[in-house]
Amino acid sequence: MAYHRSRKMVRCDARALTERLAADATSSPWLTVMARRAISEPAGAMWFADDASAPTCIVDVLVEKDTQRLHHGSWGASAATAVGVILCAITAASESPTRLRFAALERSLVDPLAAALSEQRPPLRLDSHARCGLYMRSAGSPLPPPSPPPPGTKLRALRASDAPTLDSHWTYASATSLPMITAMVAAGGPGNVGVESADGELIGWIARYADGALGMLYVRDPFRRCGIASTLVAAAARALDEAGLPCFGYIVDGNVASEALFARLGWRRAADADWVSFVRAGEG
């Protein structure tokens, strides 16, 4: 496969792209995701596209020490063009990254991108690959009616002081996850919802990542199977809808319980969107 290089890649201003992306966001799940990314552009992120005026593929890159954190979306671009833009963005952000982390990469691009990165100098190899689905509320589907939490509990917004609890129960917790979660919930905004017991214990929660995706849905063992997860998802979706914000999230393939829950609440699987990382050959 031939990969088109910088001839078709341009550096973009995310805020200049926001209105253009948002106007057509409903036509593609990736447009929705990247439009949300453009709105909440993190400080220091660099944006690249195949065309500044009518993009069909966009990459944003945030460099943290020797790691690049990337988001990618494409709609109508060929795999060759999409991979070519990604390669150019990686090189433009830093000449020789040690690690690349993609927060949701379209599955059809994983193999061609891995092949292309293996030919770089120095080469990068696939390090982890979690297969996921991008889930969104079905267009036009009515919001479920407000669902009160079980008797003796109450809904409340998450607080910064809740971050250690969320981090301690998160499957993907790491040395850097607690500051990230603290910043997420401290920022407030719709989508960060918890359920508290009568004695003030946080027993369930759902949070909203910086890119706008809902995630970290969790209910403590003694309180499961009594509707708390449904209450949390419905409350977060309603808050986002009322704020005029897109409602989407990622579910790891095989998580049958979450897939069934979200389907019951009117969500659909919109795309295969995998969590992928690459590392420089020889690195652990």
DSSP assignment of 82-124: HHHHHHHHHHHH-SS-SEEEEEEEEGGGHHHHHHHHHTSSS-E
With bands split at pLDDT 50, 70 and 90, how would you rate the model's confidence at 188?
confident
* Whole-number percent of the chain with pLDDT over 90: 58
Query: 8-33 pLDDT, tens per residue?
Result: 678 887 767 766 666 665 668 888 88
Peptide bond into 164 cis (omega under 30): no
- Chain centroid, CA 14 distance in Å: 17
Query: Phi and psi dihedrals of 184, rounded to 5?
Result: -60, -55
What's domain 154-265's architecture? 3-Layer(aba) Sandwich (3.40)
6-134+273-280 shares its CATH topology with 154-265: yes
Amino acid 5: pLDDT: 45
Residues whose CB is less than 8 angstroms from the CB of residue 3 and which lie 6 or more positions away in sequence, other chains included: 80, 83, 84, 87, 116
189 Rama sector, left if φ>0, alpha if ψ -120 to 50, beta otherwise: left
In sequence order, the β-bridge partners of residue 160 are none
CATH topology of domain 6-134+273-280: Aminopeptidase (3.40.630)
With bands split at pLDDT 50, 70 and 90, how would you rate the model's confidence at 65?
confident
Task: Report the DSSP pairing between strands 154-157 and 193-196.
Answer: antiparallel
Q: Mean pLDDT check: name the lowest of 134-138, 167-171, 255-259, 277-281.
A: 134-138
The domains of the chain are located at 6-134+273-280, 154-265
